[in-house]
Structure 1
C-alpha cells in the first residue's frame, strides 16, 4: 500500500476544523454531521466529512484512526462514495455506550451492521475497503492484529467512485478524530 498525502483528497463536506499534528490529521466534525438515507429513522443526512480520492475497481483504500472518542454515534473510518444515494461507510462508531465495528451500505436506502469492540478503545484501528467488479470487501484490525472480515456487499463496478477517511458527529459538538495514516493499493485478492 502507498501512503496518500492528506492534501491529496477533496472534502465531501468541509469539517469544522482540520489541522496536522506531526504526520497525523486532526479533523473536528460539525455537530449534526452524518451519512444516512431513510431506513428506520426516516431522515436523509449527506454531510459526513469524507476526504476522498478516486478509487477504481481493483484497488483498496485504508486508514489508521485512533479510537479515542466515546459519545453516542461518534464515528470514523473509510467512506466509499459514488453519489448521495450510493456509498459505503465503514469504521468504528460508538453506540449504546461502546465502540462498535460496522458498516453502512447504501443503495438508495441505508442498512447498518455492527459488532461490539470495547477492547479497541484507545487503540489505532485500521479500516480497509477493497473494490471488486461487483462488490466491496470491508476488513478491520486493531494495532496490527490479524484482519477481521466485516462485510462483503454488492457495489457497482461500472461507475466512478472515490474513497478515503471520514468522520462525523451526529449528536454533539467537539468531536476531533485523529487519523494516523491513509493508504491506497491493490484490492485484497481473497475474501478469507
Structure 2
C-alpha cells in the first residue's frame, strides 16, 4: 500500500458482520468472495432535492472504532441507473456516509453521500473504472473520516473528508443498492480492517 495509509490490513470474514436490511441473496464463494443480490427499490438517502427518505439499502456492518480503517473491494460491473456498491459508515438512520461507485446518467461515478439529518452528494465520473476491481477505504482518526478509493492497484484518490465525533459509536462495511431494478448482483472481493491512515496527505 502506498503512503496514503497503513501497510497491513486483516481480512474480515463475511460472517463477522451483521446485515442491515438483508439482501435478496448473499452467497459466499470458495475463493473468499461474496455475491450479493439487491432488492429492487433499495437505497440510502434522506430528503435533499428528491424529497424522499430511503433507508432500506443492504449493508454488512461491523464496528469501526476510532483510529481504525475499513476497506471494501468489489467489481464495478453494473450498468443501470443508480446501481451502486461500496462502503457504508453508519451511526444511525440520520447519520451515515456511503462511498463507492454509482452508475448515474450513463457512466460510473466515484462519489460519497454524507447524511446528517439530510443527505448531500459529491460525485465525479470514472468511465475508465467500468468492470474493474475497485477498493474504497474509510479511515477514522480524531474528529474525521477520510475517504479514499482506487481501481486495481492504481494510486489512491482522496474522495471526501467528513466530520465524525471521536466519541460516537459507528459501524462500517460493504453495501449495495438497486434503486431502479430487481436483479443487481455485486461481486465483493474482500473486506478488511486495519489502523487509520497515518496522514491526511502523502
Please indicate the TM-score interval, normalised by the length of the shorter structure.
Answer: over 0.9
* 3-state SS in 2 of match to 1:110: strand
Q: CA deviation at 1:122?
A: 1.0
* 3-state SS in 1 of match to 2:15: coil
Residue 13 of structure 2 corresponds to: 5
- 1:160-179 counterparts in 2 under 5 A? 160-179=169-188
Q: CA deviation at 1:19?
A: 0.3
129-138 or 179-188, which moves further after superposition? 129-138
Provide the C-alpha distance between the structure 2 equivalents of 1:187 and 1:18, rounded to a whole number of angstroms.
29
Residue 92 of structure 2 is aligned to residue 83 of structure 1: yes
Residue 108 of structure 2 is aligned to residue 60 of structure 1: no
Instruction: Show CA shifts across 1:131-160 (max 9, x none).
Output: 122110100000011100000011222111
Residue 34 of structure 1 corresponds to: 43
- 1:92-111 counterparts in 2 under 5 A? 92-111=101-120
Provide the C-alpha distance between the structure 1 equivalents of 2:72 and 2:99, rounded to a whole number of angstroms.
11
* Number of residue-to-residue matches in the alignment: 192
Instruction: Show CA shifts across 1:157-180 (max 9, x none).
Output: 211100000000111110000000
Provide the C-alpha distance between the structure 1 equivalents of 2:96 and 2:67, rounded to a whole number of angstroms.
17
Instruction: Show CA shifts across 1:4-35 (max 9, x none).
Output: 00100000100001102222100000100000
Residue 195 of structure 2 corresponds to: 186
Provide the C-alpha distance between the structure 1 equivalents of 2:141 and 2:46, rounded to a whole number of angstroms.
24
Structure 1 portions without partners, runs of 5+: none
Residue 20 of structure 1 corresponds to: 28
Residue 164 of structure 2 is aligned to residue 159 of structure 1: no
Provide the C-alpha distance between the structure 1 equivalents of 2:29 and 2:127, rounded to a whole number of angstroms.
26
Provide the C-alpha distance between the structure 2 equivalents of 1:45 and 1:34, rounded to a whole number of angstroms.
6
Structure 2 portions without partners, runs of 5+: 1-8
Provide the C-alpha distance between the structure 1 equivalents of 2:101 and 2:46, rounded to a whole number of angstroms.
19
Provide the C-alpha distance between the structure 1 equivalents of 2:165 and 2:114, rounded to a whole number of angstroms.
12
Provide the C-alpha distance between the structure 2 equivalents of 1:75 and 1:142, rounded to a whole number of angstroms.
15
TM-score (norm 1): 0.98
TM-score (norm 2): 0.94
Residue 139 of structure 2 is aligned to residue 116 of structure 1: no
